[in-house]
Amino acid sequence: MFKKWCFLILLFALISKGFANEDTLTIQPFSIIERTHYGFIVPHRDGLSNLLTNHTKMIEISLDKKTFGAKKWERDYSNPSYGISFLFLDMGNPIHLGYGIGLLPYVNYPVFTKEKFQFNIRVGFGAIYATKPFRQSENKNIIYGSNINALVSFTGEAKIKLSDKIAVHPGIAFTHFSNGAYELPNLGLNSTSVNFGVSYKLNHQTKLTILDSIARFKPYIEISASGGFGSKEIEPGGSRYYFGAGNVELAARISPMSQFYVGVDEFYNTSVKPRMETQLNTTLTNAEILQTGFVLGYYLKMNRLQIGVAWGTYLYTKTVIDKRFYHKLTNLYYITDKIFAKFVLKTHFVKADYFEFGLGYKIWKSR
C-alpha cells in the first residue's frame, strides 16, 4: 500500500503544463457528481477471507469546483478541480463489518485533456465512521477497532462530456481506512472498485480574469522544525499509551511543486517500553525508550497544502521492536507563511504504528 502512495505522489510531481492568458471568461465552476462503486475488499492479512462474504458497494455524492488558472498553483497542476464527497459504503458483510459513512475532501488532477475527454487522477484524505468496529464477543471484525477512522482514496477516472452540463465518469478506485493503532485491532481495510459517475454542471456563473504573467521560479533551501503527539493501544481493550515526536528538516525546493528533504526524528513512545523490557528482560528508565531516526522524504506542494512520503531508519534505539526501517505519510497545511499544522501516519512497512497531530515552524529560508 505504501509503495502505491509513493508511486502516485511521484506521478503527480510530473504533471505540469502551466499557462497564462490575459482574458476575462464567464464560467460555471461547480458540479454535482454521483458515483456508484462496485468492488471487493483485498484480503491482505491471514484470517480476513472468512469475513469477505460479498462484494462491496459504495454511493458517493460530490460537490466539485473547477479551477481556471486564477492562482499560480492551479496553472502548475493544469487547472485541477477540488471538492468534497459524502460516502456511504456497504462492506459486503453487514453482520460483522457493518457500514461506513464518510467525508472525503479531494483534489482531482488532469493527466490528459481533449475537447470532450479528460483523464484524471483524484487524491482524497478524509474520515469515515464505521458502524460495527471490533467488540469483544460481539462480532468477528478483526479489521478495525474504532468507529472513527482516517480515510484515504486514490481514483483514476475518465470524464466524457455529453453536453455543456452533463458528463459521465467511468473509473477505478482504491480506498483505505484505518485508525493508526489508536484502537486495536487495526489491520486496516483496503477496497478496490470500479465506478461509474454522472456529473451535472450547476447554473452558477462568475467572471474570471486570468493575467498574462508567470513569475519565474528560483530553487531555494529551507529549515523547519515541528512536534506532535498522539496515543495508541498495543492490545485490544488494553492500556492506552501516549507518545511525542519532534523533527528538524533541511529541504530543497526544486520546482513550484516538488521538494526533497533530509531530517532527524526524535521519538518518545511509551508503547515501546513494555515490549522493550520484555525483549531485554530488564527495567528501563524513561530516557532509555527515546529513539532517534534519520529520514529522507519528498513533498508535493499544492498552494498551502503539502503531501509527503518519507523513508527513515533508527539511528539509535535500545532495541528494535518493530522494524529497523519506518515510513511516514505526511500532510502539512501552512496556516501562515511560517507556521504549519501537520497530520502524520507512521508505519513500519504495511503495519501502522500511530497517527500524529502537531505544529511546525519554518526557521530559515535561503531567499
CATH number of the domain residue 190 falls in: 2.40.160.20
Q: What's the pLDDT score for residue 243?
A: 96
Given a contact cutoff of 8 angstroms between Cβ atoms, the answer to whether 269 and 314 are in contact is: no
User: Which pLDDT belongs to residue 22?
Assistant: 46
- Whether residue 80 contacts residue 67, with contact meaning beta carbons closer than 8 Å, is answered with yes
Q: What is the model's pLDDT at position 5?
A: 47
Alpha carbon distance 275, 316 (integer Å): 17
Provide the domain limits for residue 142: 8-210
Residue 278 vs residues 182, 271, 284: alpha-carbon distances, Å: 22, 12, 10
Give yes or no: residues 119 and 232 share one domain: no
pLDDT given for residue 11 in this prediction: 46
Return the pLDDT at 42: 83
Q: Which of 160, 182, 210 delimits the end of a domain?
A: 210
Rounded CA separation 190/151 (Å): 10
Residues 171, 245, single domain; the answer is: no
Instruction: Please count the other Cβ atoms lying within 10 Å of the Cβ belonging to residue 310.
Output: 24
Residue 2 domain flag: no
| Numbers of helices and strands, H then E, in the chain | 3, 18
What pLDDT was estimated at residue 21? Answer: 42
Of 187, 210, 233, the last residue of a domain is 210
In a domain, residue 1? The reply is no
Same domain, 19 and 154: yes
Cα separation, 72 vs 301, in Å, equals 12
Q: Do 184 and 251 lie in a common domain?
A: no
Of the candidates 120, 43, 62, 130, the one whose C-alpha atom is nearest the C-alpha of residue 90 is: 130
Specify whether 173 is located in the same domain as 227.
Answer: no
CB atoms within 10 A of CB 162: 11
Residue 321 lies in a domain: yes
Cα–Cα nearest to 159, from 309, 33, 317, 292: 33
Query: Residue 3: inside a domain, yes or no?
Result: no
Amino acid in the structure at residue 327 = H
Q: Which pTM value belongs to this model? A: 0.80
Residue 105 — φ and ψ, nearest 5°?
-65, 145
Q: Do both 107 and 196 map to the same domain? A: yes
Q: Are residues 206 and 224 located together in one domain of the fold?
A: no
Q: What are the backbone angles phi and psi of residue 336, rounded to the nearest 5°?
A: -130, -175
Q: Would you state the pLDDT for residue 162?
A: 96
Q: Please count the structural domains in the chain.
A: 2
The parts of the chain modelled with pLDDT lower than 50 are 2-5, 7-22
Considering 210, 238, 255, which residue would you say is the last residue of a domain?
210
> At 340, which amino acid appears?
F
Q: Are residues 130 and 235 in the same domain?
A: no
